[in-house]
Amino acid sequence: MDEELLRLQQELEEVQLEDTEQRLSEKNVVTIILKLVQLKQVELVYTLTGKEYLTPKQLVLEIEDELTSRGGRLRLDDISASLNIDIISIENAVAKLVSGNDEIFLLNSIEVITSWYIDNVSREWNEYLQEKGQVTIGEIATKYNLPVDVVAESIKERIGTEPESQIRAERNGNVLYTEFFVDQQRSMIRGLLMATTQPVSLSRLATKYSLEATMTDKLVREMINNGMVPGCLGGGDYVPFIFTVMQRSKVDSFFASNNFIDLKMLKSLKVKSGPKFVQESFPDAILLDSCMVGATILSSLEAIIDECIANNSVADIKSAFPAQLNDKDCSLLLSKVTVLKSRKKAKAKVFANRYVASNFFLETLELEFKTLSLEAGKIAGQSRPSSNKAKPKPKPIEKDAEKKTQKKGKKGKGRRQRGNVSDTEDDNNRESAVDTHFTKSLEQFLQESSLTS
């Protein structure tokens, strides 16, 4: 090839040195070229000075040479300045070049880039990544003045963990990590999780110990699945198994001993699904407003009420309730008693969430109250003065006494007020006597019926 080129150069030199009888002047050459262009027998591209011409094919070759000499990336305005060709002709030539070559593409309509340029800079990206351990795609795009989508697509084609990969890294979203960096993060996270005995937020863990937040969750899940850490994830928190065991031990021990557990206690133990957690060990546990109780408490309550109904009596059921239950808890628990569920068919009634009385007892008590009321009415009637007693006629008022009466008006008014107070005290005393008699009669009835607490 080199010998052929050398031979052609020698022939050209010989032709140029030969004497010719007829020579074309520069003006004649220009005229001929313009005529050929006018007849559309030849297509030429003029330089900015107008002294040189290029064919479109030659212009494309010139641009390829410029790309090669400039490292595979070149701006269109730089090509225009270098070749001394107008920008429109450069754009047309570049469009032809790009359309016929898969390894060359136009970037943002202002730059020409080759695939081998991306290959070269990807090695630089890899070196930069190995130094830092982790880097974002946006950081690479900014550093090399490239669009993010171009960098992302280029990395996708070249990334891998194999030795032959141009970019040896792992990708998580828009972040690249080296294998060493990932192993380092994994070891730190595993050490922290193995040392914890309480639930810990992964986001707080990453912030406190300067971990890479974007990969912490992924690594924790990976280690849990591989059995590298004993725990599970729940709502962004890592929960060690030892904490779950401690929760189970405390809850089960307390409930088994007290047949009761407060929902606040479950919350303090960080039990998220408290009722479900308790019912896993005690399926018959009953959920109330502020706590959970064992089924035996409901059984004891039902036994007391059944005995009350069977004996036609009244009972204080407070002893059947744990002291920590509030009024709503008691009401909810009573609503679960079978014999009290239907109000129409219920054989007993509950008062103040504390007392239960059978219907027969209430009917008996009602009759006794009626009897006591009649007796109280008779006593009240006997204590009042008779209304049939004749009242003394008032003495006639003499005319001479009218003035005296007017002077003593104020004193008389005071006497009348004191008289009204005296009448009110008498009425209160009589009512008090009736109430005392009623109360004593009721207590006597309860004592005889053996119903006093």
pLDDT in tens, 303-338: 888 888 888 888 777 777 788 888 888 888 888 887
pLDDT recorded at residue 99:
87
pLDDT recorded at residue 409:
46
More reliable by pLDDT, 297 or 417: 297
452 — phi, psi (to 5°)? -70, 145
Question: Which of the residue ranges 123-137, 172-186, 384-398 would you say has the lowest mean pLDDT?
Answer: 384-398
More reliable by pLDDT, 238 or 382: 238
**Residue 175 clears pLDDT 60, i.e. is over it:** yes
pLDDT band at 393 (very low <50, low <70, confident <90, very high): low
Cα–Cα distance, 373 to 376 (Å, whole number): 5
Question: Average of pLDDT values for 162-189?
Answer: 88
pLDDT recorded at residue 372:
80
Strands 167-168 and 159-160: parallel
Cα–Cα distance, 125 to 196 (Å, whole number): 38
**Residue 399 clears pLDDT 50, i.e. is over it:** no
pLDDT band at 429 (very low <50, low <70, confident <90, very high): low
What are the CB-based long-range contacts (under 8 Å, 24+) for 112-115?
Answer: 112/63, 112/67, 112/73, 112/74, 112/75, 112/76, 112/79, 113/72, 113/73, 114/67, 114/72, 114/73
Count of CA atoms in the C-beta half-sphere (13 A) of 264: 3
**Residue 203 clears pLDDT 50, i.e. is over it:** yes
Most confidently modeled of 27-31, 304-308, 382-386? 304-308
Q: Which distant-in-sequence residues (6+ apart) come within 8 Å of 135 by Cβ?
A: 128, 129, 175, 176
pLDDT recorded at residue 380:
76
8 A C-beta contact, residue 297 and residue 260: yes
Q: Which distant-in-sequence residues (6+ apart) come within 8 Å of 209 by Cβ?
A: 188, 192
Element (H, E) at 282: none
**Residue 352 clears pLDDT 50, i.e. is over it:** yes
8 A C-beta contact, residue 287 and residue 336: no
pLDDT recorded at residue 105:
85
What are residue 362's DSSP bridge partners?
A: none
Cα–Cα distance, 213 to 169 (Å, whole number): 18
pTM over 0.85: no
- Helices 76-83 & 56-69, crossing angle to 10 degrees? 110
Share of the chain above pLDDT 70, in %: 79
Element (H, E) at 42: none
| Average pLDDT of every residue of the chain | 79
**Residue 357 clears pLDDT 50, i.e. is over it:** yes
Which of 327, 321, 267, 264 is closest to 294 using CA atoms? 321
pLDDT recorded at residue 361:
82
Record the tokens describing residue 54, joined without a space: 């290029």
Question: Average of pLDDT values for 371-382?
Answer: 78
Q: Which amino acid is at 409?
A: G
Question: Average of pLDDT values for 256-278?
Answer: 89
**Residue 383 clears pLDDT 70, i.e. is over it:** no
Question: Average of pLDDT values for 212-225?
Answer: 89
pLDDT band at 434 (very low <50, low <70, confident <90, very high): very low
Most confidently modeled of 81-85, 161-165, 189-193? 189-193
Question: Average of pLDDT values for 9-31?
Answer: 70
CA distances from 234 to 185, 186, 215, 238, 318 (A): 21, 20, 17, 6, 41
**Residue 439 clears pLDDT 80, i.e. is over it:** no
pLDDT recorded at residue 336:
84
350 — phi, psi (to 5°)? -110, 140
**Residue 108 clears pLDDT 90, i.e. is over it:** no
